[in-house]
């Protein structure tokens, strides 16, 4: 009769019993909740830092390197470390025509030509720099060049006027050379015809992008002026494309490949070396998070084992009243699930509050480790912790699933307790 009466309750009754049992010993419950909560808290916090670093790298690559999609010549791609200007993209075709065709592609937000060339400086303690030719007045409508303050990055003065003998330099570069606004910057570079070009632009602005590589070694010039200086005629070394959404870069790149043909290379931002490398490390990050949880789960395993030992007579009574072994296992398993859920919720709550507050305050990691340490890494001098509701949900689910699976074995132990033997103890 009891068995029939109980069976009508089904799993719902088992869940109610398990829920009430979770609060029978508050000290034990607090131990379990605290252990899982601490593990999930660290998962939320560290994953937010890692994601913030990845977001910083994504932004650097998109703003200063590839945009969302970049087109260059095949020869340039092979020798890109030297930034050669003698290999224009879409050689023999009108730059204006090519850009208009790209703008017509669905999802394209903006198209810009760019030039990056090496320069040797005259009368300067800094002997080498990079000339960056861009349409700054147009690009600042799309990009925030200062990665921390989300501004155009201009610290003093103004950016070079179109087709002028003017330039802007990074703040670190200015400090190293002692140059200021109004000074001339004599330099030498090589044109697309392999001839030496001497140039002495006037410094009209000093920028702070909060990106060590740009602030310390880059000279910004107007694209059209640098194009003429390097004898590129109606051509560009690179064409940079920005999409309405980064996810649209794949379809845009496919259409651009049709426009450019086999002699040019079309690259997406997520194909950049450092982006691919960091994506390869994501399983390692997940493994580290799992270690936090596994360590915490051992406390729950021990706790559930103790619960079974302490409530051995109760298990015997359950069996004598008609509960099957499977139902007894379910009760203890559901109880451990509740403990995992409560603990994960506490960890997510604390981690969410902390990351929600800290997302407004940048972490200046180069100040702690030194700019030279991250000189080649495409990441801003400061990163923002990434607050994400999806991250909180994933961390909570991760805590519940892993902790629950770890408690399955001690829960099964209760099934092997014989009711008669249990009641004798």
- The model's pLDDT over 185-211, given as tens digits with 9 standing for 90+, comes to 999 999 999 899 999 999 999 999 999
Contacts of 64 (CB under 8 A, 6+ apart): 209, 211, 213, 214, 378
Asked whether residue 259 falls in the same domain as residue 343, the answer is: no
Q: Give yes or no for residue 5 having a pLDDT over 50.
A: no
Helices (H), 22-72: 26-60
pLDDT tens, residue by residue, 308-361: 666 666 777 777 777 777 887 788 788 888 888 888 899 999 999 999 999 988
Share of the chain above pLDDT 70, in %: 88
CA dihedral 153, 155, 157, 160 (to 10 degrees): -30
Are residue 92 and residue 26 in the same domain, yes or no? no
User: At a CB cut-off of 8 Å and minimum separation 6, what does 174 contact?
Assistant: 180, 206
Environment class of 394 (CB within 10 Å of its CB; exposed 0-12, middle 13-18, buried 19+): middle
Q: Which of 15-19, 68-72, 244-248, 364-368 has the lowest mean pLDDT?
A: 364-368
For 55-84, write each residue's pLDDT tens digit. Answer: 889 999 999 999 999 999 999 999 988 999
Q: How far apart are CA 274 and CA 61, in angstroms?
A: 9
**Measured distance CA(184)–CA(197) in Å, rounded:** 16
Q: Which residue has the tokens 């610290």?
A: 155
pLDDT for residue 424: 60
Cβ atoms of 262 and 200 within 8 Å: the answer is no
Per-residue pLDDT for 156 more than 90?
yes
Residue 363 CA: distances (Å) to CA of 145, 359, 368 = 18, 9, 10
Burial class, 309, CB count within 10 angstroms (exposed 0-12 / middle 13-18 / buried 19+): middle
Q: Which two tokens stand for residue 146?
A: 């200062």
Domain enclosing residue 43, as ranges = 2-59+279-424
Residue 374 banded pLDDT, cuts 50, 70, 90: low
> Encoding tokens for residue 124?
């300067």
Compute the average pLDDT of residues 21-43: 80
Burial level of 197, CB count in 10 A (0-12/13-18/19+)?
middle
- Domain shared by 44 and 139, yes or no: no
> 6 pLDDT exceeds 50?
no
The neighbouring-strand residues paired with 383 are 363
What is d(CA 208, CA 349) in angstroms, rounded to the nearest whole number?
37
DSSP 8-state symbol, 374? G
Predicted confidence at residue 15, as pLDDT, reads 82
- CA gap 294, 25 in Å, rounded: 23
Q: How far apart are CA 395 and CA 260, in angstroms?
A: 44
Candidates 417, 228, 246, 396; CA nearest to 320 is: 417
Is 133 in the same domain as 263? yes
End-to-end CA distance of the chain: 26
CA of 389: how far to CAs of 43, 179, 188, 339, 348, in Å?
14, 47, 52, 22, 10
Both tokens of residue 144?
A: 């925030």
pLDDT band for position 1 (cuts 50, 70, 90): very low
Q: State the pLDDT at residue 414.
A: 63
Residue 235's nearest CA partner among 75, 96, 81 is 96
pLDDT at 7 over 70: no
| 2 pLDDT above the threshold of 60 | no
Q: Are residues 78 and 212 in the same domain?
A: yes
Top pLDDT among 327 and 238 is at: 238
Which residues have a Cβ under 8 Å from the Cβ of 76 and sit 6 or more positions away?
84, 87, 89, 237, 238, 265
Q: What stretch of H or E contains 129? A: strand 128-134
CA dist list (Å): 97 to 94, 134, 260, 398:
5, 18, 12, 52
CA distance 144 to 210: 11
Into how many domains does the chain fold? Answer: 2
Q: Which stretches of 137-289 are assigned E, i.e. beta strand? A: 154-157, 166-170, 187-190, 196-199, 202-207, 218-222, 238-243, 264-268
How many other β-carbons are positioned within 10 Å of the β-carbon of residue 53?
20
Whether residue 216 is found in the same domain as residue 71: yes
Check whether residue 238 and residue 283 sit in a common domain. Answer: no
Residue 300: CB partners within 8 Å, gap ≥ 6? 32, 35, 36, 336, 339, 340, 403, 406, 407
| Residue that terminates a domain, selected from 222, 243, 271 | 271
Q: In terms of domains, do 129 and 265 share one?
A: yes
Polymer length of the chain: 425
What is the rounded average pLDDT of the residues 4-16? 63
Mark whether 138 and 249 lie in a shared domain: yes
Whole-number pLDDT of residue 408: 73
* Weakest mean pLDDT among 24-33, 58-67, 357-366, 374-383: 374-383
Which contiguous run of DSSP H or E holds residue 115?
Answer: strand 108-121
Together in a domain, 213 and 122:
yes
Where is mean pLDDT largest: 43-57, 121-135, 205-219?
Answer: 205-219
Neighbours of 369 (CB within 10 A): 10
Domain stops at, among 271, 300, 319: 271
Provide the pLDDT for residue 281.
80
Same domain, 205 and 116: yes
Last residue of a domain, one of 271, 295, 330: 271
| Whether residue 266 is found in the same domain as residue 371 | no
| Residue 91 neighbours by CB under 8 Å, 6+ apart | 73, 235, 263
Percent above pLDDT 90 for the chain: 48
């Amino acid at each position: 009769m009891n068995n029939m009466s109980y069976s009508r309750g089904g799993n719902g009754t088992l869940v109610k019993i398990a829920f009430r049992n979770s609060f029978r010993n508050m000290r034990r419950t607090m131990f379990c909740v605290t252990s899982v909560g601490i593990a999930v808290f660290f998962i939320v916090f560290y994953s937010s830092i890692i994601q913030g670093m990845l977001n910083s790298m994504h932004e650097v690559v998109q703003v200063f390197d590839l945009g969302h999609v970049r087109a260059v010549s095949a020869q340039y791609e092979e020798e890109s470390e030297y930034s050669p200007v003698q290999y224009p993209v879409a050689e023999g075709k009108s730059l204006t025509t090519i850009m208009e065709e790209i703008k017509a592609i669905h999802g394209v937000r903006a198209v810009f030509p760019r030039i990056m060339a090496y320069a040797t400086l005259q009368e300067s303690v800094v002997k080498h720099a990079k000339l960056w030719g861009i349409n700054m007045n147009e690009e600042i409508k799309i990009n925030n060049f200062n990665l921390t303050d989300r501004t155009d990055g201009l610290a003093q003065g103004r950016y070079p006027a179109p087709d002028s003998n003017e330039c802007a330099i990074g703040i670190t570069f200015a400090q190293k050379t002692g140059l200021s606004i109004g000074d001339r910057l004599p330099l030498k570079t090589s044109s697309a015809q392999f001839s030496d070009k001497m140039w002495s632009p006037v410094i009209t602005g000093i920028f702070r992008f909060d990106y060590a590589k740009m602030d310390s070694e880059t000279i910004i010039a107007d694209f059209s002026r640098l194009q003429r200086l390097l004898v590129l005629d109606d051509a560009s070394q690179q064409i940079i494309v920005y999409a309405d959404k980064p996810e649209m870069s794949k379809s845009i790149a496919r259409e651009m490949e049709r426009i450019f043909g086999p002699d040019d290379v079309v690259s997406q931002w997520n194909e950049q070396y450092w982006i691919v490398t960091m994506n390869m490390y994501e399983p390692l990050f997940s493994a580290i998070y799992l270690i936090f949880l596994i360590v915490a789960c051992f406390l729950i395993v021990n706790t559930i084992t103790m619960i079974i030992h302490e409530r051995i007579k109760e298990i015997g009574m359950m069996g004598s009243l008609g509960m099957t072994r499977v139902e007894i296992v379910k009760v203890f398993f559901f109880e451990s699930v509740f403990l995992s859920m409560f603990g994960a919720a506490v960890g997510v709550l604390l981690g969410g509050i902390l990351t929600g507050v800290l997302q407004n305050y940048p972490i200046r990691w180069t100040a702690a480790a030194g700019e030279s340490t991250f000189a080649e890494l495409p990441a801003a001098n400061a990163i923002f912790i990434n607050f994400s509701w999806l991250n909180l949900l994933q961390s909570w689910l991760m805590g519940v699933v892993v902790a629950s699976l770890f408690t399955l074995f001690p829960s099964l132990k209760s099934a092997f307790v014989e009711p008669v033997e249990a009641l004798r103890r």
